[in-house]
Each structure stands twice: as C-alpha cells, then as structure tokens.
Chain A
C-alpha cells in the first residue's frame, strides 16, 4: 500500500466512523421478525404457501398477458380498420341510395349520375344494358315531372342526358340480332309513346309559352317512336341510320359551335319531322335552302343553296 493509499484508507475510516454506531434492533421487533421468517420457512416446508410458485406463475402469466395484449392490440387495430372500411362502405351505400331520389341541381345528383354510369359500365350483356338504359330514361322522365311539378326550370343537363340515353337505347338495339332487335324496338317504341304522353300532360299544365326544352323533348320522343317503327320494318335501314346518328353525334361533340344541332334533334333522313310534313321536301334533314331543293320552304338562307345534298343522307325507306 502506498502512502497515498494509506492516507486514503485512514480518511475512509475516519470519515465513516460516525456511521459505525448503529442501535441494535428492538428485541420485541427482532423476535417478531424472526417468528415471521421461521413461520414462512415452516409453511414452505409443508407446502402450505403455494404462494411463491404462484407468485412466479402470476409473473409468467402477466408476461403472457403482455404478449397477448400486443396481439390483441394488433387485432384491435385490424378490427378498427375493418369497422372503418365497413362504415365507409355502408355510408357510401347509404349515400348512393339516398342520391337515387335526388333531382338535377341537388348536391347528391352527381352521385346518382355516377352510380348509374358505373352500373351501366359493369353490365356486360347488350340486352341487359338496353333494359337498364330504358329504365334510366324512365328515371329522367320522372325527374322532369317532379321538377315541373315543383315549378323548377328544366335542367339542360337532364334533357341532354335523356336524349343521350334514348340514342344509346337505339344503338344497343341495333347491336342485337334481328328478332331480338325487333322485340327490343317494340319495347323502345311503347316506352317512348308513354313518355311522350307524359310530356304532353306536362306541357298541358305549363303556360302557352311552354319551355322550349320540353317541346324539344317531345319531338325527340316522337322521333324515337318513328325510328323504332322503321327498325321493326327494315332492320338494315335502321342500323344504317343509327350508325349515321352515332357519327353525327360524335361529330357534334367536336363542334361545340353548332348550337342548332344541339338544341334541336336532327331529323331522320327520309323521315319527315313533324314540322316538315307536307312541305314537299324529300330530304327534311337537310339544312333549309340547301342544294336548291328547298322548294316551298321559304326559309332558305341566301347564299347557301349551292352545296347540294349531304353525302351522308340515307334515302327514306
């Protein structure tokens, strides 16, 4: 031991000396503690204290529970996510369901349109698509009736959607084989007739200055009846006509300036429109004054009569 170590050792003894004096434990407490210790020992000897093993079993059980707790926590999280997804799905379903009674211009109407489009796109069979499309046209008519009844102005979007659905019905029918197509056209015709009657009732309730959009729809429904009648008699001519209408419609989408073609239905070539009947025009679908054949129309536009007949015109049956 070095001198420094010796000094440090002396310092330890000297410094800690005050703690050396410690009172003895009180004899009564000492005896009680001893009795307790010996009693515990005796109980352990006799196996009367199952406690110790159980204490550790309990600790093991707690550890196990902690592990289970973690697993339960994971399960709980999964359950919460599942519940949220279910709530989201149920909520979405309720929203879509609630949207079905909405009218154009209402917030939920977009969801209604979207759900109809999704349902139609998920339908594979042409026949089923046709039935669905016919159902949608009835829905539009119902919406129009409710809007007119509640004094609301007819929404352009609804009118356009109905016309689009009427066109789609014809195109879907044209994709069927002849017997099926004729049966489908019978359906389309009957439905268009009924819808036309509904429109007539609505117009009768409206003031004389009936909304042009409603009148326009009536004309479109009449056209639907006539096209269906043509298809029942001459399937080939009907398909050609539908094909041509599809091209025109697609073309009109690329020429937004052609307001006239959007506002009024294009007449069927060879099928006189109601206002064109009796005017002696063999091509009622032509723009008035075209090709110098506008005899008796009196609506020729000066300077535009030298274009001749439209090359896509199909002869009337």
Chain B
C-alpha cells in the first residue's frame, strides 16, 4: 500500500466501515509504533503516540478533512507532529538513567548499558535537529523510505528533501562529535 494511491480504502474509511478501518490499523500501526519508539525511546510514549495518531485520523475523517491519498504519509505526519510537540514540551531533553533495559541474553550487561546510552544520545541529538531534518533522516535511514515518499510526507519537492537530508546529517555529525568529545 506504501506510496500507492489509497483512494479506495480511504473512501470506505470515510464511511467508517469496520473492515477498512481494521485493515488500515493492521497495516500502519506497527510502523507508527516503531517510528515513535525509535524517536522517543519509551514504550508507553510510543503507545500514546500511536493511539493519538489513529484517534486524530478518525477525527479528520469525521470532519471530512482527512487524506484523499497517500495515507501512510498522512499518518506519519500526524505521528511526527505529535513527537515534535512532545520534544517541545520536554526541551531540553535529558539522558534518562532510569530507563528499563531490554533483556537480551546474548548481550553482556555492560554492553547493554552502553548501547542504551548511545541510543539515548542519538535520540537527544535527533531532538536538536529541526522537525523537518529529523523526519527526513528518520524516514530515510530508519524506515527505509524512498525520497519520493518522504517528499509526499513533507509536502516538499524531492530536491528539497535531499538538501534537508544533507543538512540534517551534517548537523547530526556535529552534535554527535560533541557527545564523543564529552564521552572522551
């Protein structure tokens, strides 16, 4: 369904057909949850983001202001806006020391802690980027989207997306190098 016109299913969704809604939810909710978790690093926040994304989608359908096409781009845009609002309310983000480490029998405890700190630093670095920069590189390198799909989500030309991607990576590299200096 990705990048393909979603007019048919959206027409059914606008009539609140249960089957259409279920299909949309099953297709996109795992990705939205994953996307939220990657940026937020918290299971509960990711669930809240996913829940609110689909809730806003229903409200948009009811108000007849929902998408006519590119449903995935629309849903990720809602999730992205929710995360951006969350970042703004949490500025400056801080490294959480009370995070629950995921149990992985194959990983040594000290390695698990190091990985988690690295992930938190990365999320903090992403939170310091502009919303568009953040969305571009997350969709590109974590969700493996093509530039065309990212352009639809951001409602920008592909060239602008590439420029954003370039600037985002440059900014991320500078931020991460500062973290590395601190760690050293």
Contact = CB atoms under 8 A, between A and B. Distances in A.
A37 B58 contact: yes
A40 interface: yes
Contacts of A33: 29, 47, 50-51, 54
A193 to B, nearest CB: 93
A8 B170 contact: yes
B38 A12 contact: no
B118 A45 contact: no
Contacts of B140: 12
B96 to A, nearest CB: 15
B29 A19 contact: no
Given A20-B142, A25-B50, A11 B25 contact: no
A25 B21 contact: no
Interface stretch (B3-11, B59-67, B153-161): B59-67
A18 B21 contact: no
B169 A11 contact: yes
A42 B50 contact: no
B122 interface: yes
Contact of B22 (A5, A34, A55): A34
Contacts of A22: 33-34, 37-38
B142 A16 contact: yes
Given A15-B176, A20-B142, A56-B63, A41 B122 contact: no
B16 A45 contact: yes
A5 B51 CA distance: 37
B15 interface: yes
Interface in B45-101: 46-47, 50-51, 54-55, 58-59, 61-63
Nearest to A20: B142
A90 interface: no
Interface of B: 15-18, 21-22, 25-26, 29-30, 33-34, 37-38, 43, 46-47, 50-51, 54-55, 58-59, 61-63, 102, 115, 118-119, 122-123, 137-138, 140-142, 165-166, 169-170, 172-173, 176
Interface of A: 5, 8-9, 11-13, 15-16, 18-20, 22-26, 29-30, 33-34, 36-38, 40-42, 44-45, 52-53, 55-56
19 contacts: A8-B170, A11-B173, A15-B122, A16-B137, A16-B138, A24-B33, A25-B29, A30-B30, A33-B50, A34-B29, A37-B51, A38-B21, A41-B16, A41-B18, A41-B21, A42-B16, A44-B58, A52-B59, A52-B63
Given A16-B122, A44-B16, A44-B58, 7 more contacts: A12-B169, A12-B172, A19-B119, A30-B33, A33-B51, A38-B18, A40-B55
